[in-house]
Amino acid sequence: MNRTAKLGGIGQSVWLDNITRDLLTSGTLERYITDLSVTGLTSNPSIYDKAIGGSAAYDEPIERLAAAGSDGESIFFELALDDLRRAADLFRPIHQRTGGVDGFVSLEVSPLLANDAATTASEAKRLHALGGRPNLLIKIPGTTAGLEAIEATVFAGVPVNVTLLFSTEQYLAAAEAYTRAIERRVDAGLYPYVASVASVFVSRWDGPAAGNLPADLHLKLGIATARKTYAAYRALVESDRWQRLLNEGARPQRLLWASTGTKDPNASDVLYVEALAAPLTVDTMPEATLLAFADHGTVSETLASGSTRQNDALLARFEAAGMDISRLGTLLQEQGVEAFATAWASLLARIHEKAAAISAR
């Protein structure tokens, strides 16, 4: 059994946090599925900005769509959906084998809609219909407006990847929106399972926003926060409320670890992956992190075996050192929304520049 397959063996799905046309046409994604036990993937505007800027693979469709009068946003969704349909088809056997639990790809609504619940929900339904694949998740940020959109979208039967969650409180708010939507579906006599993941970002907790901390707390806040969130997740799944929904045929929204690439060059390049192994979860990894773990990653214990009391004591030390963890979680989400909007603007500018350069040639 290879190293990544061992994560699958404990009940954690390995997803790739990347997609490019070259990844599809070269057979690399297919090889990752076969050889590295990858069972899904995620995408975002930043990934596509780099993919379109770093390859000529998108030039022909950009030229064709621009000549037909399509704007930058329409061109992007056309390009992305073409890629994601092909990727979804590669994961389709996994989706079928797991009864719709795994084998997903993800597409994000425009980050500019982060504070517009009604338009976000409408756009999520439109994009999912355009995608035409049951294993396409639509990414919606877990902002205040996003939570309203998530409930409406899930109630409508559209699979959702809740993104930009950082704190345990933000995760629980997203889980509440999902749970309410499923309860409403049960009450309405609708099929009770609509796939969803709640994406909790980990490594950003340990960035510059963390400030100056004692040396022995370095790179420990992200993992400690994730451990706290995992405990809350398990408690929710095991609650009477969710046990009743399971009895109706529902399935819980799975917890997904995002931002699992190590930012500190002096730390292990598989730090977060090794620390976050846990059943009934997903770990979506940047390509470099996936390859690093496949080469030298190990799993000695799972989150389920960790001590909640010790983790609470560790988080208390951060607070004692002057850190307001709740406030930092809010700040990280706000910064995440801004970063996604910046990446979106850069992506649309990239498409415009590509179209102009191709036309000039």
SS3 per residue for 23-72: HHHCCHHHHHHHHCCEEEECCCHHHHHHHHHCCCCCHHHHHHHHHCCCCH
From the list 231, 198, 202, the residue with the least C-alpha distance to 289 is 202
Tell me whether residue 139 is one of the annotated catalytic residues.
yes
Structure tokens at 100: 């719709």
From the list 352, 332, 334, the residue with the least C-alpha distance to 344 is 352
Q: Are 181 and 150 in contact (CB under 8 A)?
A: yes
**Angle of the 325-360 helix axis to the 45-53 helix axis, nearest 10:** 30
Catalytic, out of 6, 50, 125, 139? 139
Read off the DSSP letter of residue 248: T
Structure tokens at 97: 């084998």
From the list 152, 159, 229, the residue with the least C-alpha distance to 197 is 159
Residues designated catalytic: 139
